[in-house]
Structure 1
Amino acid sequence: MIKLYLGLEPNILTTTRANKLNEAVRLLNSHGLNSDEFKKVFKTGYQCARPLLFKRQHNKCAFCEISNDDCGSPVEHFRPKLGAEEKIGGVWRRVSTHYWWLAWTWENLLFACERCNNSGSKGNKFPIRSSASRVLAPPSPCSYPISAIHYDCASEERLLIDPRLDNPIDHIQWIPVNRTLHPKNWQWTVAGLDDKGDMTIEVLDLSLRADKVTNHLKLIVSQWVDADIHLKEGRPIAAQATWDRIIDSYINNPEQPFRNAAWWACNALFPEAERNRLGLSHPPMPFG
């Protein structure tokens, strides 16, 4: 997962939101929050954002960074559109009716792969810190337009990484599990750097991507071997050129998958102190 800069919402979503949210409020007031009529309105509308999300995310899932095809892949609601789940006693349970009013909000939408979006993964899971409260829900009966206070999520203290707002590298790292072996034989695993990272890994089950990430990082390691040989044989210019190609190809290239893992791999192969000593470039933070 990397930080995403997704720009302004498309005009079609602006128009769609006005129509759909007005309809949702009308159905809420006439049929109630748990009615089939109210729930039905949330099946459509936000899909109009898919093409632009797909393009701006460079065809990759916002969560696991796997390259994807937009055909059939969902538009993910970061905050679930019909009921949030919290982990209680080791079991995920629905604890609130949030966040129906955010269903067509640009800042709440992401392009995701089907595996990350489904109920066995992210689904409706949206945990917050036990000491915090969820953003205030609109009352019922509800007036339209909905007051801005219901869109202020700053104090919610979520336990999931939002790639639009957070830098995931501050919370999630990929590390080799067998450093005693030559880097060519390293296997990689994902680990949290704090409770937000731990929860995000659990909710998205990012460990299931470990084999794909390991295979991807082998490509980086094979080129690192060339740079290491150049250094050992007294060719620092060639080593730097090879190292810069790794950075450009696997971290700076927005089309590449697993750029978070690539950043951590580069830092494991040539740690910062060693890069300083050798005069090698520092890999920049990836963003998309």
Structure 2
Amino acid sequence: MLNRAVQNRKGSGVLCALFVFLLGAMPAEAHFFSIIPDTTLHAVPVGREHQAKLSFTEEFLKVQAGAAHLKLGSDIFSARFLYKDGTSQNFPAFKDHDEPGAGVETGTDSHVSRAVLNKEGTVILEARVNKVPYVPSPKMKMLYWGYSKQILNAKADGLSTKSAGGGEVLEIVPMSEVAEFSVGKTVKFKALFKGNPLPKAEVEWADQQSPSVIGDEGPTNTKEIAKTAADGTFEFTIKHAGYNCFGIMHGIPVSGADRNFDYSATTLIVDVPEASASSEKSGGSGCNSGFGIMLLAAVAASGLIGGRRSSRF
């Protein structure tokens, strides 16, 4: 991963903090621009307003404080709904957001916007932050692209298996219907970079049960689970119901330009359903309700959600 390639670079002050945020200081502490889903919400009714919350994160599903240091304007963030009929719906302008009591230091920790979901079927919520320039030192210049995608209201209608990035970004695409994901099932994905398969990319993952640990840069819960094959594909066996997040970072040296590197990061967020009553009776794979309750209790008892963030990004 690109954070390993630059783990020995050092800077100073806030610039160094951002550099470390973007590139990382040790394996399995990758940093992603990502949608932060509401983990209590498992469907968005048609006609209901939905909030898109965007943040930079080291611990999937959790916001990270400190974006205020960069003085990033909310106008660099964008999001839209993509519907199965091929139409799209843009979110209005984003606003800086601070979440009191979220276990993070005061300051901008995320960016939010709201839009009404207007159509039935699978919906892709996609979000972007484009071309964030950064100069950690006179010898190091870079541009950072971030792309994140969440599958909402998953149905077996084909939309969840389609690329949504338009050939402009790094993207993870499920190769089978997200509506048919279940605990214990091995599913396949493809990583695309600007529309082409991305080989040898390290894939990181976390779900709602992933333990949080304190690394050199604060709480992290991601784990490397695969490297993409020559055709950009990788497989993963689903461990738990609930929200699962997959992420990839990719860095490319740039020569003869006004920068040294281009960096792209992406996340894919899917919600794996609990087993239905019929599948429990038939012995199908998945979490039964009793086991689901035990998992939730274990998460609450372990305090995985806690942990104070530093304001280094």
TM-score (norm 1): 0.25
Larger Rg: 1
Q: Which has a greater percent of strand?
A: 2
Q: Which has a greater percent of helix?
A: 1
